[in-house]
Structures are given as structure tokens and as C-alpha cells.
Structure 1
């Protein structure tokens, strides 16, 4: 289910002035049983922590990474929820947000993210 404008506004309030949300998706910590929002802007990837028992109320900035931080690969483990690792956090995401993670990563793909050519021209 897409995130409401109210949730997007709450997330925007925790970002630095002038930052615009490009991608936003909810995630849950596998180990800590905590809920997060991952906000991708033009300059950063920000992890917002949510309040207890309120998955849609971000309250703190847990971590900020440069935009070149890759969010994937998305790990799929059979019947379990897809997971991504951002910094030290192993996060579960809903199936519908896998495409969001892949789209955010596709924007930053450059030659240094691609594997070397196995058959270079001689």
C-alpha cells in the first residue's frame, strides 16, 4: 500500500531543509523489532526510527548515508519477507517495495558499481 501524504510529511519534517523525497519505504528490523522509514533524497539515504507501537510515526534520524550508498541487493528467502542491509541494519521490507529499492539503486549505477567486463576488447 502506498504511503500517505501525512506519513510523507512526517518524514519530510525530519530531513534537512531543501531535501526532497525521491523514494520512501517502510522497513522493520529483523533483530531489534523496530520500525523504520528509509528516505532517499538527491543527496542522502536517511534511516528514520519510528515510535514504539506506531509504525507510521517517524521520530528520530537513526543514520544518514551518502546518496551513492547502494540499498540492494534485495535478498529473497522463500516464504520470508525480502530483506536489505543498510549499514549495520538487516531490514525486512514488504514485497511491494522491492521495486522501489531496485529503482533507487538503478539511479546511482555507474561504471564503478558494475562488475568488470569478463571479455574486454583486446
Structure 2
């Protein structure tokens, strides 16, 4: 299920000027001490981790990484996992394709299908 437009707009407000959002997906950070909710926002220039307050609204920027930060490979378990900068995140299986697409866009753009409607 896509992240709602209202949440995407709140994410956009926390990004650098002119950054174009490519992908947004929710994730849970797992650590021995706690579990914390995040939105992972992939733009044309960065991968930004936004902390999430009650509900699903972003509350602040946790960390920003260069766009060429690899999100995968996805470790498939009961709930799929990815790792970013040593942090482990659980992502819902429906977002596994989003993670793969974000990595393909950054590391092997030739593998992406061509836009069927480039003039729109």
C-alpha cells in the first residue's frame, strides 16, 4: 500500500530544497534496546531516515546518506529485513519491490523497464 499523499508532503518538507522524492516506505529499526518506527525516503540526491511519531507522521530527520547508499539485499525472514549503516530494519513484504527498485535505479538503471508513457 502506498504511503498516503499527506505523509509524502510532510516528508518533502523535511528534505533539502529541490529534492525529488522517488520512493517512500515505512520500516522498523531493530536494536537490542528498542524498536523504532521510521520512514525511509529515497530522493534523487539522498536516502533519508525520518523518525516517526505516534501514528505514521514523520517527526524529524534521523540521518541522511548519499543516494548511492545501497538498501538491499533484502534478507527474507518472517518479515523481510534490510540494513543501512549497520542498523537493521524490518520492512513489510509489499515494500520489497520498492527496495529493489530504489537499488536498481541507483546501481543498475539499465535493468529498469522503460517508461511506457514518457511524455506524461
Q: Residues 45-66 of structure 1: CA distance to partner in whole angstroms, max 9, x if unpaired? A: 0000011x32x11111111110
Task: Look at both structures and tell me which one has the larger radius of gyration over its CA atoms.
Answer: 1
Q: CA RMSD in A?
A: 1.0
Other-structure match for 1:119: none
Q: Give the alignment's TM-score, normalised by structure 2.
A: 0.84
Q: How many angstroms does 1:88 deviate by? A: 2.6
Question: Quick one: distance in 1 between partners of 2:59 and 2:52?
Answer: 5
Question: Quick one: distance in 2 between partners of 1:88 and 1:57?
Answer: 24
Question: Quick one: distance in 2 between partners of 1:88 and 1:72?
Answer: 12
Other-structure match for 2:76: 76
Other-structure match for 2:106: 108
Other-structure match for 2:89: 91
Other-structure match for 2:118: none
Q: Which runs of 5+ in 2 are unaligned?
A: 109-120
Count of equivalent residues: 106
Note the 1:1-122 alignment, pairs <5 A: 1-31=1-31, 32-51=34-53, 53-54=54-55, 56-77=56-77, 80-109=78-107
Q: How many angstroms does 1:84 deviate by? A: 0.4
